[in-house]
Structure 1
Amino acid sequence: MKNIKDIELQLSDTIKKALQIIDSGAMQIALVIDKENKLLGTLTDGDIRRGLLKGYTLDSSIKDIIFKNPTVATISDTKEDILRKALEKKIHQIPIVDHENRVVGIKEIEELVKPTTKTNKVILMVGGLGTRLRPLTEKTPKPMLKVGDKPILQTIIEKFAEYGYLDITMCVNYKSDMIREYFQDGSKFGVSINYILEEQRMGTAGALSLLKEKPTEPFFVMNGDILTNINFEHLNNYHFSNNSLATMCVREYDFQVPYGVVNIKDNRILSIEEKPIHKFFVSAGIYMLSPEVLEYIPKNQFYDMPTLFKKIIEENKNTASFPLREYWLDIGQMEEYKKANEEYYEVF
């Protein structure tokens, strides 16, 4: 995804400045944003030419000639979603916005049809015991349970590969030989796989202290029992644009109280809410971390992600939440495993 700093305009800018930006850039487009980085519209050479024909001059403001309803994609759109939108509208670039309409980048359609390899590392936590899925996990590690026609872990790897993230490390423990034997060095899946053996349970973050080669750029961490259609490239760009030290993917979760809730003060009833629904954001088990985060993780100790985030927050370092809108399922119990198999072919 392209950086947009060189193609940004404000409503108060002149047509002359817009021409300079468009002519100097390879994308032939400018994005018009407000002070909060929210997208107001786009501007192309064609928009400017039409404005000049209407009598506007080079010193006129761009505010009356911008295209105010551009086609955009959101950070939760998959590569297929973006490509479909672009082809339908016959456009070569499409701005990417978050769920508050803030611009995080711009995607060129040529990039979507031409695979590119990214250098960000992917760390997969696949050492869990899967006790809640017994008896299925008595002989098979949970990430190797089949959903559809392949192991859960294979689908995860293929989704990362789809976005060009091929450098994968697996943190293994329980029945690790089955995982190693199936994936080997990853070449038959188009990726490169290294393994870290957890001699003891290390938690969702502790195994990061065992990395032989420390990442030099932001890297992904993901639990090995999750099925999702997340756009990993958008997560990477979102982490960067928010200048975040640690980014956590979050999922909205709602819980309905099965009773009427009575709000009281002292002995007086203030109100009654009938079966209210409470909404929360929960961790989705997918993270983007900057290399500096590794300094917070103790060596060879159990350490989980919530503890890591608490430590970073306590030190007033910047963290970010990446809300998931796309398909996501944590296969932790038998009910979710059955649901995953029912939905797999429709989603993937």
Structure 2
Amino acid sequence: MVLTRDWKSTLVKSDRTIEDAVRSLDSSKLKIVLVVDEQNILLGTITDGDIRRGLLKGCRLDNLVHSIMKSSPSVVQRSMPIHLILEKMAIEKILQIPLVNEEGKVQGLFVRNQDAIDVVKRPNSMVIMAGGFGRRLMPHTENCPKPMLTVNGKPILEHILIKAKQEGFLHFYISVHYLSHIIERYFGDGESFGVKIQYLRESSPLGTAGALGLIEGGIQADLVITNGDILADISYGRIVDFHSEHKSDATMAIRTYELTSPYGVVKSNDMRIIDIEEKPTFRLDINAGVYVLSPGVFKSIKKNHAMDMPTFFQEMIQESMKVLAYPLHEEWMDIGRSDDLIIANKKYELNDS
């Protein structure tokens, strides 16, 4: 445990928005936001889980932070011995705890050394969908499958695999079709990456859900599926835990997409204009291309039967299965066009500098 020097980067004023809290979480890397007033008196704390729960309840990123903050957080004072602080954090299962004075003013932040916490090997397998043609990325994909296009010197597929491995995922299925030999030659059986890889070879395109029918022997634990062209800061472990805790049959990661009209929108009733909104912004929840499925749903997937994942989710909804949304606030990119590839390389280059 350390009393971090960077604690001031976690401070967010109470008149700021949830979006400001997200930016603070991303920039400080301390995984907590301390909400304070003008005198830096602690009013509450915000973690990744608080943001996710707020989004699920309908909060928007432009809502104020008080709508999601934990208003009675655990705190410690300098008079408390270190061993008691550690014991308190262990009992409450928290990684960070604010240090405050008698008036409640923030004086620092204790953080448990996360590097010393062993990564738990997960029983879950992950499927990475890598069989698409990537037509919108031509000519880049003329001789290279889209998931093998490089971002900061590594294939997109490798970024996904390594991130999942760091969270304890060690068994992967990769669905392949277009230029599959390039993927298989690069990754092999996964031994050189410290994981196990099996290939789902599509003789013809089967779609995101249809490819799962090629898994032999079924699955014994919740399965994570991701598109092979997604770069995101998403924690695959957290979405699996969310899926499990809520006893979901199927979970889809969703992302808020904002679309601003370039025109003023006129609302009318018959011939009478009742309102004019200048260049309004519409917010839509979109499919982020990451899913978790429980073992029980696989009986619905037929072998060699083409089906995309949205269609499969629609079928499960119609069958009254428990289908949940997992809102993302993290950085997320769908590498679908040449411009996306350029932006991704610039972002990764900045993050490494």
Among 132, 135, 140, which residue is 1:136 paired with?
Answer: 140
Among 62, 70, 74, which residue is 2:49 paired with?
Answer: 74
Among 247, 267, 270, which residue is 2:271 paired with?
Answer: 267
Partner of 1:29: none
Q: Secondary structure at the match of 1:165?
A: coil
Partner of 1:105: none
Query: Is contact 1:76–1:326 with CA below 8 Å preserved after alignment?
Result: no
Between the aligned partners of 1:340 and 1:94, the Cα distance in structure 2 is 33
Q: 1:64-103 counterparts in 2 under 5 A?
A: 72-74=47-49, 91-92=89-90, 93-94=93-94
Q: Secondary structure at the match of 1:122?
A: strand
Between the aligned partners of 2:115 and 2:209, the Cα distance in structure 1 is 33
Gaps of 5+ in 1: 1-66, 78-88, 97-107
Q: 1:75-224 counterparts in 2 under 5 A?
A: 91-92=89-90, 93-94=93-94, 113-224=117-228
Change (3 A) 1:209 1:138: same
Percent identical pairs in the alignment equals 38
TM-score w.r.t. length of structure 1: 0.70
Query: Is contact 1:163–1:232 with CA below 8 Å preserved after alignment?
Result: yes
Q: 1:312 is aligned with what amino acid?
A: M
Q: CA RMSD in A?
A: 2.5
TM-score w.r.t. length of structure 2: 0.69
Measured against aligned partners, the alpha-carbon deviations of 1:132-179 in whole angstroms (never above 9, x if no partner) come to 111110001011111001111001000000000010000100000010
Query: Is contact 1:124–1:171 with CA below 8 Å preserved after alignment?
Result: yes
Partner of 1:31: none
Q: Secondary structure at the match of 1:118?
A: coil
Q: 1:239-258 counterparts in 2 under 5 A?
A: 239-258=243-262
Query: Is contact 1:203–1:304 with CA below 8 Å preserved after alignment?
Result: yes
Q: 2:94 is aligned with what amino acid?
A: I
Change (3 A) 1:217 1:157: same
Q: 1:229 is aligned with what amino acid?
A: D
Query: Is contact 1:129–1:142 with CA below 8 Å preserved after alignment?
Result: yes
Between the aligned partners of 1:303 and 1:109, the Cα distance in structure 2 is 45
Instruction: Give 1:68 shift.
Output: 9.3
Between the aligned partners of 2:259 and 2:312, the Cα distance in structure 1 is 27
Change (3 A) 1:266 1:71: closer
Instruction: Give 1:345 shift.
Output: 3.4
Q: How many residue pairs end up in the alignment?
A: 261
Gaps of 5+ in 2: 1-41, 53-84, 97-111
Instruction: Give 1:327 shift.
Output: 1.3
Change (3 A) 1:299 1:305: same
